[in-house]
Chains A and B, each alone.
Chain A
Amino acid sequence: MKYTIEQIVKGEDELILRYQRLNSEVEAALRFMNAPPKKLIGEKNDTQAVIDFADVLYVETVDRKTFIYTADDVFRSELTLTQLEEILNTVNFFRCSKSMIINIDKLTTLKSLASNRIDAALFNGEHIIISRTYASEFRKILKGESSDE
């Protein structure tokens, strides 16, 4: 396959795929193009911000409001936790309680607690408790035994 890359000065960024027959290379490019954008929209001080999935530490619902936490900021999201769970389902995110989704990539250490709970330390020093209900699924995901993987 021939690759053409062109830098433009004006206009919207565009990716065009031209092909005659589907083959593995074309399918890989299509998968990349069809992949959902790895960004979330958050709001802070009436200003919207685009947040990269990789920057999210965790997402939490407090009083029916959803917040997205990054290392330096907290953003409000219009989406519910369930909607965000569906969006974040493709990457390293895990629903660790009824009100929280964590980014497994941002965890530094895990500590086994009594009653089969897990204390998960994030790289910014925060600690999140994974309850007994979610801990067994979390263990499976870490071991690569989950059906979602």
Chain B
Amino acid sequence: MSKIRSFIERFVTRKIGAEIKCCLTFFYIVCFYWVYRWANGLTEASIVHMFGMLWAAYILEWVQVLINCDFFEMDRLGKKEAAVITLGSLIYAVAGHFLSWFDGNIAVALGFWAYMAFAYICTFAVCKTKRIIDAKQLNSDLKKFQERKNK
């Protein structure tokens, strides 16, 4: 019973994590899309485009979680991580191009690729900073624990 419970807990934790990543990635894509539309004098967004963005984000983030190439959880920016960021953002750019989010404009799609890579790097930096702050708190708690116990 505890094994089933443990499995469900692990699954739910993973699912929640993946859903949050999907939402954040969707937000990144939509921000670029809105700026692109606005720069072209359009103030309306296509629901079909947004549907495509949502599914692209959902599928890609789940794939990253399942193959353990999740950029949210990277400890450092090495070659493998750089490859994940480059390839991940490229897939979004290709999806954007073929789903006509940017009216087939290759230059904008390339810009979108760079933007998504930058968004990934920013997210990595934020997660890394969060872990550095957390480590400081952990070490402070450890010191207090050791002092408390050795009094």
Measured CB to CB, the residues of A under 8 A from B are: 92, 104-105, 107, 109-115, 118, 132-133, 139, 141-144
C-alpha spacing A98/B75, complex, angstroms: 24
C-alpha spacing A92/B146, complex, angstroms: 9
C-alpha spacing A143/B143, complex, angstroms: 10
* Pairs across A and B, CB under 8 Å, 5 listed: A109-B142, A112-B135, A113-B75, A114-B131, A142-B142
User: In the assembled complex, which residues on chain B have CB atoms less than 8 Å from the CB atom of A143?
Assistant: 141
Establish whether residues B75 and A104, one from each chain, have CB atoms under 8 Å apart when the complex forms.
no
**Which of B13, B75, B138 is within 8 Å of A142, CB to CB?**
B138
C-alpha spacing A141/B72, complex, angstroms: 27
CB closest chain-B residue, reference A133? B6
CB within 8 Å for A110 and B75 given contacts A104-B146, A105-B150: no
| B82 touches A (CB below 8 Å) | no
Considering the complex of A and B, which 10 residue pairs feature the smallest CB-CB distances, nearest first? A114-B73, A142-B141, A112-B134, A110-B138, A112-B131, A112-B135, A142-B145, A111-B135, A115-B73, A92-B149
User: In the assembled complex, which residues on chain A have CB atoms less than 8 Å from the CB atom of B135?
Assistant: 110-112
User: In the assembled complex, which residues on chain B have CB atoms less than 8 Å from the CB atom of A118?
Assistant: 138
Interface size for B (C-beta < 8 A) is 21
CB within 8 Å for A114 and B74 given contacts A109-B139, A139-B138, A142-B138: yes
What is the distance, in angstroms, from A51's C-beta to the closest C-beta of chain B? 19
C-alpha spacing A115/B127, complex, angstroms: 11
C-alpha spacing A142/B137, complex, angstroms: 10
C-alpha spacing A118/B73, complex, angstroms: 13
What is the distance, in angstroms, from B130's C-beta to the closest C-beta of chain A? 8
Establish whether residues A144 and B138, one from each chain, have CB atoms under 8 Å apart when the complex forms.
no
CB within 8 Å for A114 and B127 given contacts A105-B146, A144-B145: yes
What is the distance, in angstroms, from A53's C-beta to the closest C-beta of chain B? 12
| B148 touches A (CB below 8 Å) | yes
CB closest chain-B residue, reference A107? B142
User: In the assembled complex, which residues on chain A have CB atoms less than 8 Å from the CB atom of B148?
Assistant: 144
Interface string of B120-148 (1 = CB under 8 A from A): 00000001000110110011011011101
